[in-house]
Amino acid sequence: MTLSEQLRRRLGTRAGRSQDPVAAEVVERDRKVVVPQRSMTPVVVGEGQAAPDVQEISVHVEGVDSRFNEAVPDGLHVAAAWGWRVIVVAILAALVAYVLAYLSEVTIPLLVAVLLTALLLPVTKRLHAWGVNRGLATAITVLGGLGVIAGVLYLIVSSIVSQSTQLGTNVVEGFNELAGWLQSGPLHVSATYFNSDEWVTRITDWVKTSQDTITTYAGEITSSVGHFLAGFALALFALSYFLHNGGEIFDFVTRFFPRRSRRRVDAAAQNGWHSLSSYVRATILVALADGVGVLIAALIIGVPAAPALATLVFIGAFVPIVGGFVSGFVAVVVALVALGWVKALIMLGAIILVVEIEGHILQPFLMGRAVKLHPLAVLLAIAVGIILGGIIGALFAVPLLAFTKTFVQHLSDELPNPASNTVVR
């Protein structure tokens, strides 16, 4: 006999033992309905007389499912309720991530434009406060940013070109020293591996036999350059519109939320935007400090192309904690090839010192209380970003975490009052 049949039999037995002789029982397939009988004699009320009190009829419905629910612990009920909601949210997040990845040629330039807007919007507001027209202030800001980028690229290229001869000579000397150590050292590598004529012959033969591969790579590189230029143009246009009328665009986005929640969402988004702006400005200052520190160390040690290496560290420092060290390792390799292992170790020590100053002094001081992120949360965000989106994912992971943390925290700190439709803290 199954469990459901046993429950039905027990329900029928309990119904037969009822102490109410006036009750009429209706036992259906999965439930029992008990309806007390009342007299059907009509009550006549004369004029000026009060109607007698009529006792309410109570109906009790008890189903088999309720018995099953009582058998399940409360903790399991709560876990099941949380479980299916978490699954739905995870599926939705995965769907959004898939759409963003599929449209990466559009979403990445838009995200870059958002970060640049967080950096440059104060400049546009200041120009507009000084009486400059909004459109003209936007044009000045965008063109000024392009001018700064062009100037930095010019300094990098000029420094590399001016020191290319010395750098080439140092690379050749370093390679010869490495080859000599490999031949006469404990590895005893054959000298034929370092014969330049043999390498030229191998490279020529590979080029002749790999025409299709080279053509494929050339086509992929050309396509990548085209995508980069298209993304750069899209980011530039998006930045211009965000600076000019970003508030109107955000007001349109808030219309997708329920009317009663728009004010809370708007306030939380404003707080998140302030945190994002503070994070971007602090990251710029930290990256600038890292670049200057590496530049000073490279100039003192005498590493070739020091400005270019410092710029590389500046760009890499936009990925907190690990970016400055990884990009600074390039300077260590250049110092090893050009100047030897002693000065390479000195350069490595300088890189470690710069990274320690960044992590223990600059970031806590510059970030302050505006963007208070735990170092473990930053590392986990960078790791997840690298897994999902590579270098681009690592670049956007921490800014997204900063905005989301402040946005959710502001919403959770507010308590809506359904009666008055107001929000109290």
| Overall average pLDDT of the 385-396 stretch | 83
In whole angstroms, what is the distance from residue 324 CA to residue 329 CA? Answer: 9
Instruction: Using pLDDT thresholds of 50, 70 and 90, give the confidence band for residue 51.
Output: low
94-98, 186-190, 358-362 — which one is most confidently predicted on average?
Answer: 94-98
What average pLDDT does this structure show over 233-249?
Answer: 90
Q: What number of CA atoms fall less than 13 Å from residue 369's CA on the CB side?
A: 0
Please tell me the predicted confidence (pLDDT) of residue 71.
73
Question: Which of 45-49, 336-340, 380-384 has the least mean pLDDT?
Answer: 45-49
C-alpha separations of 30 from 26, 65, 66, 292 in Å? 11, 8, 10, 78
- The pLDDT value given to residue 28: 43
Mean of the per-residue pLDDT values of the chain: 78
57 pLDDT more than 60: no
pLDDT at 104 over 50: yes
Q: Which pLDDT score, from 0 to 100, does residue 361 have?
A: 79
pLDDT at residue 27, rounded to an integer: 42
pLDDT at 65: 58
Top pLDDT among 12 and 277 is at 277
State percent of the chain over pLDDT 90.
13
Intra-chain end-to-end CA distance of the chain, in Å? 58
With beta carbons less than 8 A apart as the criterion, state whether 335 and 294 touch.
no
Identify the pLDDT of residue 425. 46
Per-domain boundaries in the chain: 105-256, 261-425
What is the reported pLDDT for 17? 47
Which residue(s) pair with 320 in the sheet?
Answer: none
pLDDT at 23 exceeding the cut of 50? no
The better pLDDT of the pair 333, 321 is held by: 333
Cα-trace Rg, the chain: 36
